[in-house]
Amino acid sequence: MSCWQTVQDYGLRAIGIGERLLPREGFDLCQQFTLIGSGLIWNVYFGLLALLAGFFIANAVALCKASSNPWIRKPAEWFVLVFRGSPLFIQFFLAYFIFLRIKQAGYMPWLTSAQAGALVVLVLNTAAYSGEIFFGALRTVPRGEVEAADAYGFTGWKRFVSIVWPTTMRLAWPAYTNEAIFLFHATTLVFFSGFPTWRQQGDALYYANYFADKTFNPFIPYPIVAFYFILLTLALIGTFGLVNRRLNRHLPQERRTRLKFRPNIIR
């Protein structure tokens, strides 16, 4: 079987297109690269959607946390505390059993599937982490900028949208890039937690684990996963770097913050 044939059979296996059975013999490099790569589709799906939805919720959380009204502030603080203080792995399990209860009560049965339920957990999780990052950045917006905005007659919503928020984003961006990378790494947990894998349609690590179990040789599939994830990380840093360039475009050259490949491990 040629490699191109393998790609046709298994290239989209993770989303249910192509050969139904997973390969049972051979396990050559081509098969492993193809199948693990097809699993990566799910990692990108979870990562991108969670990042997108999480970004908006995180902004709301940060604003609520900065609110002076305790009825708005307290829930946001608790939300951040719970999601940042407990392991994502436990959150997945807990969420799955909660969704199972909801399903048994007859509502929203689709929530128990990994593709929807795990996504909800990831969105909330990243919202809490990035909400904390944005909140921290919101506190460090230079006073002078806000005073200048006041002097120019900006008030309320207009002041927030055109002065405070862009600066918040600029300050938060390096840490947020780091969070995005961690979020993509966290997507590998989905198929190892409570959520069932439907028809063996798993993510990259799921297939790597499959190969390692079958061949008793961890030295090929896991480095392939590592290779794919390093590519993914580089792509993320590239994209976020572009946004960073745009956010910093008004600053003189030497005051611009640059994104580095070796980000902090803070999450």
Residue 24 binds other proteins (CB under 8 A) = no
Question: Which residues within the stretch 230-249 sit at the binding site for other proteins (CB under 8 A)?
Answer: 230, 233-234
Q: Give the distance from CA 243 to its chain's centroid.
A: 17
- Looking at the Cβ atoms of 3 and 82, the one nearer to other proteins is 82
Taking CB under 8 A as the binding criterion, the range among 11-19, 45-53, 163-171, 212-220 that sits at the site for other proteins is: 212-220
Question: Which residues within the stretch 74-113 sit at the binding site for other proteins (CB under 8 A)?
Answer: 81-82, 85-91, 93-94, 97-98, 100-101
Residue 219 binds other proteins (CB under 8 A) = yes
Structure tokens that stand for 254 in this block: 């030497």
Residue 11 binds other proteins (CB under 8 A) = no
Residues in the chain: 267
φ/ψ bin of 19: left (φ > 0), alpha (ψ from -120 to 50), beta (otherwise): beta
Q: What is the rounded CA–CA span in Å between residue 208 and residue 218?
A: 8
Q: Using the structure block, give the residue that is written with the tokens 């790597």.
A: 208
Residue 262 binds other proteins (CB under 8 A) = yes
Q: Give the distance from CA 183 to its chain's centroid.
A: 3
Residue 222 binds other proteins (CB under 8 A) = yes
Residue 5: which of 225, 200, 23, 221 has the closest Cα?
23
82 in helix, strand or coil? Answer: helix
Taking CB under 8 A as the binding criterion, the range among 106-114, 135-143, 160-168, 228-236 that sits at the site for other proteins is: 228-236
Structure tokens that stand for 60 in this block: 């709301």
- The site for other proteins (CB under 8 A) is made up of 27, 81-82, 85-91, 93-94, 97-98, 100-101, 184-186, 188-189, 192, 205, 208-209, 212, 214-219, 222, 225-226, 229-230, 233-234, 261-267
